[in-house]
Amino acid sequence: MDGLHQKDLDLYVKNHPTSALASLVNHGTSYTHAQTPVPSDSFPGMVGQLTGGNPGTTGVYYDDTFNRALLPAGTTDCKNTAPGAEVAFTEAADKDQNALDAGQGLPGLPGSILNMTGQPGSLLDPAALPVDPATCKPVYPHQYLKVNTVFEVAKSAGLTTAWSDKHPAYEILDGPSGKGLDDLFTPEINSKAAAPFTGDWTQDNAATQQYDGYKVQAVLNEIDGKDHSGTKTAGVPGIFGMNFQAVSTAQKLPTSDGLTGGYLQGGTVPGPLLSKALDFVNASVGKFESELAASGHAKDTTVMLSAKHGQSPMDSSTLTRVPDSAIIDGLNAAWKSAHPGSADLVAFSTDDDIMQLWLSDHSQAAAKFAKDYLAAHSAAGNDVNGAAKTVTTSGLSKVYAGSEVANYFGTKTSDARYPDILGIAQTGVVYTGGQAKIAEHGGASADDRDVPLVISGGNDQHARTVTTAVETTQIAPTILKTLGLDPNKLQAVQIEGTKALPQR
């Protein structure tokens, strides 16, 4: 449940003691100090849960990044093209990012979306993908991942696998083999929403709930021994599940459906829109529990609840929206002034409530120049009401440069993927050019990273609480252990020594 914090779950269960979410907590193990990887983005968050690895191991730092070794999308003359390419594993990779089916061409959308293919790699546009200089062929998301997934291990043991998520680029979860998932349902969340909504499915929380509802139905169909469409018989998957977006958009939208988004004053109690979204995801979990019981699978199914990321800030009074374009323009101008005739220093950036810059000059000296500039300059922003506000040191509390970034991520300086600059945002800072959001994720704060992690087995009779610190990457080896499979079959587990969660 993207965006969900441990605090949110605690409060919901306290106020709704007979709810489906309370049932999971009351018949399972709660790890109340679980943290996501950094960056706390959907892509590294989900990949971490299903590989057991952090970004330095998986090679997945964000959904939209830069790679110093690959060639730009569409390259055909691979011998004479300079390396350095955006790697956009987002809706931008779809054949048609405006279509809910990503360009499959289904008639009768959105109602027919469950007929979408279970192999959405076919819906990615090869011309939108970066190019491997060695083969001169596009690099698909699953080929970009450096380590295998729980789905691949499960498949090799003869189990059926399924998942539902928000873009076709989530075919990255197929793993390097490209064959980890039997059934992957990925309606495009950033497509144009159906009437009466305008914009995409994230810009109205009712639209997000409708969108999430398609994935809920897919999981219900899979519980019943069918594929996600409900039209074909399939083995009940050994591993399956989905990602909810409703909580996340309710946290980010200032208002939607006549309701105020985010949290009430103080940043602890959900406001009316978020409360409605929490009720929606709770009702959806209730549907899963009912279907498991009706199908006779309640006792032989373990349910795991977590989040790819949290959302920051919870307390909107601390919000400062900072347009990052002005910061980057200033940095580029300073670089050119000091190095006449040079290109822009910033080749690519991804900034949410974290700052990641990839530089055209990969030297330590250039990275230090950028770090010093960011530390020496204030930035203009605005508060939750749109009033002007200035932040010191470009809105950052800590900046890592060059080899410091490689060390932070535990990777080699020769790694072509990590950013040259990693900036940890000050509390409440969100890099955005508009005023359309009151929270974001990606950063290293507690609001970004402190997510729930609950494991509820069919035979769990009581609530157990584990207060020791754990990481969401530990979900992957725990999944395999639960299925009686060897967690050491995961390459990231071998590399990082990721342990299965305690007391399971």
Residue 169: count other Cβ atoms within 10 Å of its Cβ.
31
d(CA 391, CA 305): 37
d(CA 193, CA 205): 11
Q: Which domains does the chain have, with CATH numbers?
A: 6-62+142-316+446-496 (3.40.720.10), 320-431 (3.30.1360)
215-258 residue pLDDT tens = 999 999 999 999 999 999 998 999 999 999 999 999 999 999 99
Please, are residues 41 and 442 in contact by the beta-carbon 8 Å criterion? yes
Nearest to 54 by CA among 495, 398, 480: 495
Segment 252-255 long-range contacts (CB within 8 Å, at least 24 positions apart): 252/3, 252/202, 252/311, 252/437, 252/438, 252/439, 252/440, 253/203, 253/204, 253/205, 253/436, 253/437, 253/438, 254/384, 254/435, 254/436, 254/437, 254/438
Give residue 157's pLDDT.
Answer: 98
Please, are residues 12 and 21 in contact by the beta-carbon 8 Å criterion? yes
Structural tokens at position 297 = 């699978």
Residue ranges of the alpha helices (H) in 377-474? 403-409, 446-449
Structural tokens at position 198 = 């305008």
d(CA 83, CA 100): 33
Structural tokens at position 236 = 């009940």
CA gyration radius, the chain: 22
User: Degrees (nearest 5) of the Cα angle 259, 41, 439?
Assistant: 30
Per-residue model confidence as pLDDT tens for the chain (504 residues) = 999 999 999 999 999 999 999 999 999 999 999 999 999 999 999 999 999 999 999 999 999 999 999 999 999 999 999 999 999 999 999 999 999 999 999 999 999 999 999 999 999 999 999 999 999 999 999 999 999 999 999 999 999 999 999 999 999 999 999 999 999 999 999 999 999 999 999 999 999 999 999 999 999 999 999 999 999 999 899 999 999 999 999 999 999 999 999 999 999 999 999 999 999 999 999 999 999 999 999 999 999 999 999 999 999 999 999 999 999 999 999 999 999 999 999 999 999 999 999 999 999 999 999 999 999 999 999 999 999 999 999 999 999 999 999 999 999 999 999 999 999 999 999 999 989 999 999 999 999 999 999 999 988 999 999 999 999 999 999 999 999 999 999 999 999 999 999 988
Question: Which residues make Cβ contacts (< 8 Å) with residue 467, sequence separation at least 6?
Answer: 32, 33
Residue 10: count other Cβ atoms within 10 Å of its Cβ.
14
How many residues are listed for the chain in this entry?
504
Give residue 503's pLDDT.
Answer: 85
Please, are residues 141 and 171 in contact by the beta-carbon 8 Å criterion? yes
d(CA 25, CA 460): 10
Residue 381: count other Cβ atoms within 10 Å of its Cβ.
23
